[in-house]
Amino acid sequence: MTKEQKGDLLLLLAAMIGGLGFVSMKYLLQWEFTPFQVIAGRFFIATAVLCTIYFKELKKMTNEEWKSGAVLGFFLFLLFALMTVGLQYTTPSVNAFLSTLAGVIVPFILWGVFHKRPDGICFAAAGITLAGVAMLSVTGDIKGGFGALLSFGASVAFAFQMIWMGKFLEKADPLHLALVEHMVVLLLALAVAAVQNRPLPSITLHGAVHFIVLGVFCTAIYFVFQSVGQQYTKASKAAILLTTEAVFAALAGAVLYGERLPIRGYIGCVLIFCALLLTERRPKQKFTKNSS
């Protein structure tokens, strides 16, 4: 297995883990936790876990990594703020569709902002991905309202986070970036939650389990996998790999939240995986560091 294939596998595993998080977030919001309490809770757990395991790495981080991680943390905070607030107004699968469209957005940002025109295969894969997630998740629930707008905004924030991640990984350690961006998101979420000054609901056993799932698996492990995996693949391809999170979110919603997956949803899953196979057919390149 090549380094690029290992990176792709880590990104796909991240998408699988992240898909579970939409259901946990939905339950916590239904139990009257505010969006920023949910974000602060999951990132408190994630940051505590990462800093405990990688305590020695904190002393090795450079000033440049702190600055780069802060930029990533800002976009990551925007992603979770828009996604979590948007989830209040829609279902987990629909929210997952709208907030994981980075695979479609990234090539256009690379082209328009950084003047790096993606190849035809990337555009074709992005189009197939868009069609797949649309068939998977778009229902009559989407009416272009406030929740839909916020969820789509999360995709834009995620696209910028992935692009800058690709840039910073050329000179920074992926684990160090993940540690800093977690701290930044935690501080921003705590600040907003403090300003809102909403009472914290009582945390039941089920609530604690969902917070642990979000913090340990869907946040700490997810973003370590993303940071390490994206070292060896392009941001445009990484975005398409992570878009499969919508597939796993729909499956988790069907099993754990009672959402029913229609036939066209299964067709959407097939289309998304076809897009992944298409990205694998591009000419192989050597990746020692992220080249995006």
- Residue ranges per structural domain of the chain: 3-279
3-state secondary structure of 35: helix
Share of residues in the chain with pLDDT > 70 (%) = 88
- Name the residue among 122, 83, 108, 120 with its Cα closest to residue 246: 83
Residues 6+ apart with CB under 8 A from 231: 7, 169, 174, 287, 289, 290
What's the chain's average pLDDT?
Answer: 83
**CA-based angle 176:179:180, to the nearest 5?**
90
Q: What is the pLDDT of residue 290?
A: 43
3-state secondary structure of 73: helix
108-115: list long-range contacts, CB under 8 Å, 24+ apart.
Answer: 109/159, 109/160, 109/163, 110/163, 110/235, 110/236, 110/292, 113/163, 114/163
In the numeric block, the tokens 């069609």 are attached to: 131
pLDDT under 50: residue ranges of the chain: 142-144, 283-292
Alpha helices in the chain (DSSP H): 3-30, 35-53, 63-87, 92-99, 102-112, 120-137, 146-168, 174-196, 205-212, 222-229, 235-243, 245-256, 263-279
Cβ-contact 225, 12 below 8 angstroms: no
CA 212 – CA 45 distance, rounded (Å): 7
CA 78 – CA 185 distance, rounded (Å): 9
Per-residue pLDDT of 211-266, as tens digits, reads 999 999 999 999 889 888 988 887 777 877 887 887 787 788 777 777 666 787 77
CB burial of 222-239 (b: ≥16 within 10 Å; e: otherwise) equals: bbbbbbbbbbbbbbbbbb
- Name the residue among 128, 94, 147 with its Cα closest to residue 262: 94
Q: What is the pLDDT of residue 145?
A: 56
Residues 6+ apart with CB under 8 A from 27: 206, 210, 257
Amino acid letter, residue 195: V
